[in-house]
Structure 1
Amino acid sequence: MTFPPQFAQSAIAGVGNLLADETLWRAGIDPRRSVGELEVDELDALRRSLRAATRDAIRKGGVHTGELIRERRRGGHCPRCGANLARAPVGGRTTFWCPRDQAL
């Protein structure tokens, strides 16, 4: 699972569910993937996406302003492709992702 090891509070404080979902969606990474499965380019995309999502959240007034976050609910759709968002517990937290854009 990607979320717990990459966004553990002990490693990167302040990355909660909303910011993690937004970051993984921007990077195109399925949250169920193991961090050990990620290639160097995917880790770099994750880093860039976290930085951009954090900057956007600060500029817009909070993490609730992210593109995916507006649709982060039951029946929500991917802002990029329109697919129904998947929802499941990952690492003990409710996580939303696009099964098309963030395929395993």
Structure 2
Amino acid sequence: MTYSTDNRPAADVWTIEVVPRDKTGKSKLASAGANAFNFLFAFIGMGGDSIGPAVADLVIRDRADNTQVFHSPQSTIGEAADMESRLREEMAQSSAAEFAESWGLERPST
């Protein structure tokens, strides 16, 4: 089943949240190493995308039953906030059908 015929506003169908990940000893060590590489790359002018483990997940849930329909790991809290803002803006301007098509969302099988 899909959302392809749902003409309600997207914001009435889904919720969006940024869920921070718990840091374990290994992920703290990986984050420290990634931060060192990111600093080095920025210092020598090769900055770009962040390197390292995800610090948060961007999650879209169906309001009807709180089922997760989309999940995207985010490398930084800033990336997560930017993505959340972008999604909220798109939701405000789209029907559920348009938003679902744009993000490849499908209702879970029952």
TM-score normalised by structure 2 residue count: 0.30
Could you say which structure has the larger radius of gyration? 2
Q: Give the strand-richer structure, 1 or 2.
A: 2
Task: Indicate the structure whose relative CO is greater, using CA pairs within 8 Å and at least 6 residues apart.
Answer: 2
TM-score normalised by structure 1 residue count: 0.31
